[in-house]
């Protein structure tokens, strides 16, 4: 078992963890960033294929009100472009009635996507962090406070520091990591009932050679109460050269095969667009419920955004050596990329008030 000594140990190399590491490096703080997956990004996950736009399987849209995120993108030199919604949408209200083409209301608050894919944020952040400080494929087993130090143990390493910041979804943390001394019962109970953003989602996308959905009496925006696709949007790239549709598939279908989900996707799209939907270039999906470093089994149903930003996540534990961060812990824009950035900034301020940053 290899040992690594540092100042601050960050669990999770998603947006919160990478943003925190990026800012701590500005203060010349020694950090290690631990990630369970082989890739960085967490729930920012862009799939790249030839002749296809970047396929966003996780976090996608940015609103003008996401000011912290927009400031970070400007600092990193990451550019955005407006999400195309169109003036109409395909709407399917009931299984017993045909779909309709309805007019969309004018919106004064557009949504934006990241040029070349949301993973550009992850790429730019990680390039500013020494790769020797990032450890992937780390399955965290335990956290133990030992005197003035705190140790994180994975299946391959012991990481020893003075502070641990977990950006892992709280439910996943509580269910998979042993902590000594034990955490307060109040924290454990809230964590067990905290909704994991994206945890119930199935994201799907199909790339095509042409934008047939732009023809008259059609639309690339879909809303269906019938499903199994509930929402779908035009996912063309910023250059308008590679075309796709991307949306949400009913999360109840997590247990069937990818091939069966694709079959159901094509059957639904055929109703709107005809046989041309079968001439796709590629199909991508991510079933987030089946991602072990995002989701774990809850004891019961948890409402979307339930306990996101709860007061228990705004405190330090184990004599202020263990902190919780991440999109679920933010009381502002909890569950979104903006919340992830806010959480990283909150932890940075807490460390400063405790004298860690000088």
Indicate if the pLDDT at residue 358 is higher than 70: no
Average pLDDT of the residues in 73-99: 94
Is 16 or 109 the better-scoring residue by pLDDT?
A: 16
pTM: 0.95
Is 8 or 84 the better-scoring residue by pLDDT?
A: 8
Quote the CA–CA distance of 35 and 155 in Å, as a whole number: 12
Average pLDDT of the residues in 225-239: 96
pLDDT tens digit string along 10-66? 999 999 999 999 999 999 999 999 999 999 999 999 999 999 999 999 999 999 999
Is 305 or 121 the better-scoring residue by pLDDT?
A: 121
The pLDDT of residue 86: 87
pLDDT tens digit string along 275-307? 999 999 999 999 999 999 999 988 888 999 999
Q: Are 56 and 185 in contact (CB under 8 A)?
A: no
DSSP three-state, residue 36 = coil
- The lowest-confidence range among 12-16, 228-232, 349-353 is 349-353
pLDDT tens digit string along 156-172? 999 999 999 999 999 99
The pLDDT of residue 293: 96
Average pLDDT of the residues in 264-276: 97
Q: Please classify residue 102 by burial: count the beta carbons closer than 10 Å to its beta carbon, then call 0-12 exposed, 13-18 middle and 19+ buried.
A: middle
The pLDDT of residue 110: 82
- pLDDT confidence tier of residue 215, bands split at 50, 70 and 90: confident
The pLDDT of residue 109: 73
Indicate if the pLDDT at residue 108 is higher than 70: no
Quote the CA–CA distance of 129 and 21 in Å, as a whole number: 7
Quote the DSSP letter at residue 62: B
Provide the percentage of residues in the chain whose pLDDT is more than 90: 92
What are the structure tokens assigned to 241, written together? 């050269």
Indicate if the pLDDT at residue 350 is higher than 80: yes
Burial code (b: 16+ CB inside 10 Å, e: under 16) for 137-167 equals ebebeebbbeeeebbbbbeebebbbebbbbb
Indicate if the pLDDT at residue 71 is higher than 90: yes
Q: Are 143 and 152 in contact (CB under 8 A)?
A: yes
Quote the CA–CA distance of 322 and 237 in Å, as a whole number: 41
Q: What is the mean pLDDT of the chain?
A: 95
What are the structure tokens assigned to 190, written together? 């809230």
Indicate if the pLDDT at residue 138 is higher than 90: yes
Residues linked to residue 94 through DSSP beta bridges, in sequence order: none
In this structure, the chain runs to a length of 358
């Amino acid at each position: 078992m290899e040992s690594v000594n540092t100042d601050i140990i960050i669990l999770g190399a998603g947006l919160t963890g990478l943003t925190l590491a990026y800012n701590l490096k500005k203060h010349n703080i020694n950090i290690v960033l631990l990630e369970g997956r082989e890739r960085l990004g967490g729930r920012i996950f862009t799939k790249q294929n030839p002749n296809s736009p970047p396929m966003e399987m996780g976090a996608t849209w940015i609103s003008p009100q996401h000011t912290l995120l927009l400031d970070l993108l400007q600092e990193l030199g990451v550019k955005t472009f407006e999400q195309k919604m169109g003036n109409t949408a395909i709407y399917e209200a009931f299984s017993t009635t045909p779909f309709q083409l309805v007019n969309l209301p004018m919106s004064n608050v557009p949504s934006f996507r990241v040029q070349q894919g949301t993973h550009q944020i992850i790429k730019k952040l990680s390039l500013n962090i020494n790769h020797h400080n990032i450890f992937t494929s780390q399955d965290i087993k335990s956290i133990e406070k030992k005197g003035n130090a705190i140790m994180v143990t994975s299946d391959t390493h012991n990481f020893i520091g003075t502070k641990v910041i977990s950006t892992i979804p709280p439910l996943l943390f509580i269910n998979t990591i042993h902590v000594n001394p034990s955490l307060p019962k109040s924290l454990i109970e809230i964590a067990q009932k905290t909704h994991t953003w994206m945890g119930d989602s199935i994201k799907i996308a199909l790339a095509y050679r042409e934008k047939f959905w732009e023809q008259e009496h059609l639309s690339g925006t879909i809303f269906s109460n019938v499903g199994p696709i509930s929402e779908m949007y035009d996912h063309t790239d910023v250059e308008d050269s590679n075309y796709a549709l991307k949306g949400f598939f009913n999360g109840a279908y997590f247990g069937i095969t990818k091939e069966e989900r694709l079959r159901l996707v094509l059957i639904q799209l055929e109703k709107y667009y005809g046989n041309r939907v079968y001439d796709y270039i590629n199909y991508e999906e991510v079933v987030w419920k089946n991602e072990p470093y995002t989701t774990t089994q809850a004891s019961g149903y948890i409402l979307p955004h339930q306990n996101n930003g709860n007061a228990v996540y705004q405190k330090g534990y184990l004599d202020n050596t263990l902190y919780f961060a991440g999109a679920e812990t933010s009381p502002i824009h909890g569950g979104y990329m903006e919340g992830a950035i806010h959480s990283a900034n909150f932890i940075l301020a807490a460390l400063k008030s405790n004298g860690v940053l000088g």
